[in-house]
Amino acid sequence: MPTFRLYDTQSRSVKPVETQEPGHLKFYCCGPTVYSYAHIGNFRTFIASDLVVRTATALGWRVTYVSNITDVGHMTQDDVADAGGEDKMEKALKSKEGDAFANIWDLARHYADAFEDDWNRLNLQQPTVRPRATEHMREQIVAIQGLIEEGHAYETPTGVYFRVSSFDEYGKLSGNRDQDSLMRAVRAVVQDDNKEHPADFALWKKDDKHLMQWFSPWGWGFPGWHIECSAMSRTYLGDTLDLHAGGEDLVFPHHECEIAQSECLTHSPFCGHWMHVRFLQVDGEKMAKSAGNFYTVRDLLEKGHDPMALRLSLMSTPYGKPANFTMQSLKDAMSTIERFREVEKRVRAAGISESADGEPDTETQRVYDEMLEAMCDDLNTSVAIAKAIEGARLFLRDSDLTTSQAQSAQWFLRKTDALLGVVGGTATESLVEEPVVEGRPISALIQERAEAKASRDFAQADAIRQMVDSAGIELRDGPNGTEWRRKVT
Ligand code: AMP
Ligand code: ZN
């Protein structure tokens, strides 16, 4: 088996992923803040984490994978140490979209559910635990108390703050170690005159007007953003994690603050390996609603794009390199997906059932081994995808597969799907709602057309096809009957 190596932000080098327990990876990935629908950039990060889980599993490891939901709104300016600005979720509730919700809890639940739907449609593995910040308030309060007791935190009239000067190693992840870089990083915004140092960050904000509030030893209020990940990772993974992931914006302050809180609390190293995903751009620019290049996952799926093509396009550039999403990249991904599906069709046509395991021939085994090796090489997805295409090509040379070729192809598809998650797609397809044309579900229209054809009423069959076509749905006749698909706009 190849060695699984990933770039580690802290040591600034590619190094083997080491597990404390042999063959058991303890992995935490920071989840989304649920104040609106997730965009495709968020999913570039979650897909990269998903590929870690899939690669580790392919190596035979067990993975305890924790990915949280931040359903306590953190602040629009949470990158400054005081956590100033407005609560993101309260702001969303006051917006036009917010009218649809009875209250802030309702809004959080709606966007968290929508996030899980997107997660499933893009065929991401279920985390072992998906903890919610609101359901771990006790753990957060206990952690803050522990930090106060040991002199790492102090109370002021507005909240509780972490005393950065009490932790010598503050800055070891981001490099913001000296006073100058630290002051620049926190932008020296001081909103609380009682803070000992501008870089001290909020663990608890006192606020009895806040829409989401809890009672604590410091009165009514809500936790700072960083403490939830320290508290929840400890609950499910213990004091020391093997690997922690997130987007590149989280290096500072979020992950730096997690390290400080956790190490001061547990007196143990917090995490052995840090993985950060470079941001996705769209058409070469930062994604922004104002720039008109902002896509949510559901926008694209509702337009008829295939979830597997979207997944493939979001993972085609290795996670550590700048990635650019374009409509062309989505189209290119679709043609790759179609190759996998064509191989699948030929396997079925050769009489191999969906549940059969299959056996690889030497060449197929070699291509897969190279694919796994590429994934172990810091998740080199561009090489791994090229290998998946090379493998598919082996089975597209002749139109009919022999039984042994079909068995090999079956094995290859299963292994590639387990590793890259882009072949199957059938599990997620059922989540795409069946379209209704002129009041009738597409499956009923397909059936009626088949009957019309069988009774040689071709005019009626054509009329149905045209009606469906003008509703933006294409019908394709194949060996397994007629399939529908939304025409891509
Ligand atoms: P948020 O909901 O803002 O906390 O973001 C959820 C995750 O998505 C975090 O790990 C972010 O770092 C990551 N993220 C946000 N924007 C992008 C982007 N454009 N590309 C890649 N990852 C992103
Ligand atoms: Zn986090």
What are the residues facing 201 on neighbouring strands?
162
Q: Whose CA is nearest to atom 6 of ligand 1?
A: 32
Q: Is the pLDDT of residue 274 over 50?
A: yes
Q: Is the pLDDT of residue 113 over 80?
A: yes
- pLDDT at site 70: 95
Per-residue pLDDT, averaged over 259-268, amounts to 98
Q: Return the residue whose CA atom lies nearest to atom 15 of ligand 1.
A: 42
**pLDDT value, residue 427:** 36
Q: Is the peptide bond before 322 cis (omega within 30 degrees of 0)?
A: no
Residues 276, 10: Cα–Cα separation, whole Å:
10
At 283, the amino acid letter reads D
Beta carbon of 41 within 6 Å of any ligand 1 atom: yes
Is the distance from the beta carbon of residue 44 to the nearest atom of ligand 1 less than 6 Å?
A: yes
pLDDT tens digits, 149-158: 999 999 999 9
Average pLDDT score over residue span 304-310: 96
- Res. 432: pLDDT tops 70: no
pLDDT above 70: percentage of residues in the chain: 93
| Residue whose C-alpha is closest to residue 243's, from 42, 3, 65, 376 | 65
Tell me: pLDDT of 471 over 90. Answer: no
Confidence of residue 430 (pLDDT cuts 50, 70, 90): very low
Q: Is 317 in the pocket of ligand 1 (CB under 6 A)?
A: no
Average pLDDT over residues 449-463: 93
Residue 10 CB neighbour total at 10 angstroms: 18
Q: Is the per-residue pLDDT at 36 higher than 50?
A: yes
Which atom of ligand 1 sits closest to the CA of residue 247?
Answer: 12
Q: So what's the pLDDT on residue 428?
A: 36
State the average pLDDT over residues 144-148. 98
Q: Considering the chain, what is the average pLDDT of its residues? A: 91
Q: Work out which ligand 1 atom sits closest to the CA atom of 32.
A: 2
Q: 73-112 b/e with 16+ CB inside 10 Å = b?
A: bbbeebbbbbbbbebbbbebbeeeebeebeebeebbbebb
pLDDT-derived band of residue 185, with 50, 70 and 90 as boundaries? confident
Q: Return the pLDDT at 193.
A: 82
Looking at the predicted structure, is the pLDDT value of residue 135 above 80?
Answer: yes
User: How many angstroms separate the alpha carbon of residue 97 from the centre of ligand 1?
Assistant: 21
Token pair 């069959």: residue:
461
- Cα separation, 9 vs 64, whole angstroms: 21
Q: CB burial class (10 A; 0-12, 13-18, 19+) of residue 377?
A: middle
Residue predicted with more confidence, 75 or 104: 104
Of 18-22, 119-123, 287-291, 354-358, the range with the lowest mean pLDDT is 287-291
Q: How much is the pLDDT for 426?
A: 43
- Would the pLDDT of 33 be above 50? yes
* Model pLDDT, residue 292: 80
Tell me what the mean pLDDT of segment 425-450 comes to. Answer: 71
> What digits encode the pLDDT tens for the residues 355-364?
888 899 999 9
**High-pLDDT (> 90) share of the chain, %:** 76
279: Cβ below 6 Å to ligand 1? yes
> For the chain, which domains are there?
5-277 (3.40.50.620), 281-429 (1.10.730.10), 433-486 (no CATH)
Question: What pLDDT, on a 0 to 100 scale, did the predictor assign at position 436?
Answer: 81
pLDDT of residue 424: 72
What was the pLDDT predicted at 443? 87
pLDDT-derived band of residue 257, with 50, 70 and 90 as boundaries? very high
CA of 226 to the centre of ligand 2 (A): 6
Query: For ligand 1, what atom is nearest to the CA of residue 278?
Result: 21
Quote the ligand 1 centre to 45 CA distance (angstroms). Answer: 6
Quote the ligand 2 centre to 38 CA distance (angstroms): 16
| Closest C-alpha residue for ligand 1 atom 18 | 41
pLDDT at 410: 95
